Amino acid sequence: MDALIARITGSQVAATRPLHGGDLSEVTLVTLADGARLVAKRGPMVDREAVMLGIMGDAGAPVPGVLGVGGNVLLLDYLPETRPTPEGWRALGLGLGTLHGQEARGYGWDDDYAFGPVAIPNGWMEDWAVFWAERQVLPLARALPAPLARRVEVAAGRLPELIPARPRPALLHGDLWTGNVLFGAGSAHLIDPASYHGDPEVDLAMLELFGSPHPAFREVYGRPEGDWATRRAVYQLWPALVHVSLFGAGYHGMLSARLDALGT
């Protein structure tokens, strides 16, 4: 990693310090001999993450700059982090609105992705409800205990009546829980994406998986209309399934709660 950093920056590594990161990657704060700082992320598929960040940045969304990528190491601009403030939540509302303003021809992405052993198929589709069932929900249901798998299959069969077939195919972050928002002084940057094109409400549902965004976010971004509680439960099925796949039966309750909300 040191050689990659020296080649890209022209400076030697002076010090390193671990940063908090996800369960599937190693994140390090690197201080260079010239005093500059950057972030090195080591993990699988960082080359695809670099592409996602580049596309998001080109769309005008606030993301850390990509300095370079080599092997399984991604180098990023270092952005100081603070506790979220109302100003930071407003910045997130603006940034996410900008991201979601970028649209595509349909639903999906040019490459598949993965969270460690959990595959994320992204092949393009024209029907959003079919995409959500066949790409997101059903592949992860197959490893569940039979009674829980059957409940997921019933919910998937009802998707055409629960979510729109052709919502606006927005550019999504794809894994937008609050741990993947880096708040600064009046700013908010999007990190650790799993991007594809789909219903922008997917990102909104993910933001509410472990809590609720500050009201300042809604003041800027806006609020979902209609039966949001049902659509939120539909869109939270996937992260619940991911958690079960990665971390086991301790997350069966999270999944069951979403299925209860859908009456299945």
Distance, CA of 127 to CA of 155 (rounded, Å): 17
pLDDT tens for residues 35-65? 999 999 999 899 999 999 999 999 999 999 9
Q: Do residue 208 and residue 131 come from a single domain?
A: yes
CA distances 28 to 9, 19, 84, 128, Å, are: 16, 5, 22, 38
> Which residue, of 46, 77, 108, is where some domain finishes?
77
Q: In the predicted model, is pLDDT for residue 113 greater than 80?
A: yes
What range does the domain containing 251 cover?
86-261
Q: How many structural domains comprise the chain?
A: 2
Distance, CA of 68 to CA of 87 (rounded, Å): 30
Q: In the predicted model, is pLDDT for residue 136 greater than 70?
A: yes
Q: In the predicted model, is pLDDT for residue 23 greater than 90?
A: no
Q: For the domain that residue 23 is a member of, what is the CATH number?
A: 3.30.200.20
The pTM assigned to this predicted structure is 0.95
Q: Do residue 180 and residue 228 come from a single domain?
A: yes
Q: Do residue 138 and residue 67 come from a single domain?
A: no
Q: Do residue 22 and residue 113 come from a single domain?
A: no
Q: According to the model, what pLDDT value does residue 24 have?
A: 74
pLDDT tens for residues 150-171? 999 999 999 999 999 999 999 9
Average pLDDT over residues 20-26: 74
pLDDT tens for residues 198-223? 999 999 999 999 999 999 999 999 99
Task: Note whether 242 and 115 are within 8 A (CB).
Answer: yes
**Is 34 noted as a catalytic residue in this protein?**
no
Q: According to the model, what pLDDT value does residue 127 have?
A: 98
Check residue 72 and report its DSSP letter: T
Average pLDDT over residues 221-240: 97
Q: Do residue 234 and residue 137 come from a single domain?
A: yes
> Which residue, of 77, 94, 111, is where some domain finishes?
77
- Say which of 23, 175, 199, 203 is annotated catalytic: 175
Q: Do residue 117 and residue 244 come from a single domain?
A: yes
Percentage of the chain lying above the pLDDT 90 cut: 94
Q: Hey, how many other C-beta atoms are within 10 angstroms of the C-beta on 146? A: 7
Q: According to the model, what pLDDT value does residue 60 have?
A: 98
Q: Do residue 72 and residue 197 come from a single domain?
A: no
**Structural tokens at position 154:** 């019933």
